[in-house]
Amino acid sequence: MQTMCGGLGEELLADEKIQSICDEMKPHAEQKAKKTYEVFTAKRYKQQVVAGTNYFIKVHVGGDDHIHIRVFKPLPQQGGPQLSGLQESKAHSDPIAYF
């Protein structure tokens, strides 16, 4: 996979690394959305290389419901990942776009 610096990469299937980012971001997403998610499963993602990495992740949150989250993971010496955006009311078929 080749990601152009600054550009949004291709959409890929989520793997264990992406799921672990989602697991870490779940309480932050719940706080931002003001709801509790019984299911929080990463499905697909895109990434953008900046001074660190932005991950745009499609997350299944139960039933037919999905959300898209944007997580900024800074360079290792600059701290841990941060939830920097959330879009609700998404469908499985909705494309992942920059937000």
| Cβ proximity of 38 and 52 under 8 Å | no
pLDDT digits over 60-70, tens only?
999 999 999 99
Which amino acid appears at position 17 of this protein?
K
Helix locations, 1-99, DSSP H: 16-33
Give the separation between CA 5 and CA 48, rounded to whole angstroms.
7
Q: Which helix (H) or strand (E) holds 43?
A: strand 41-50
Model pLDDT for residues 35-79, shown as the tens digit of each residue: 999 999 999 999 998 889 999 999 999 999 999 999 999 988 888
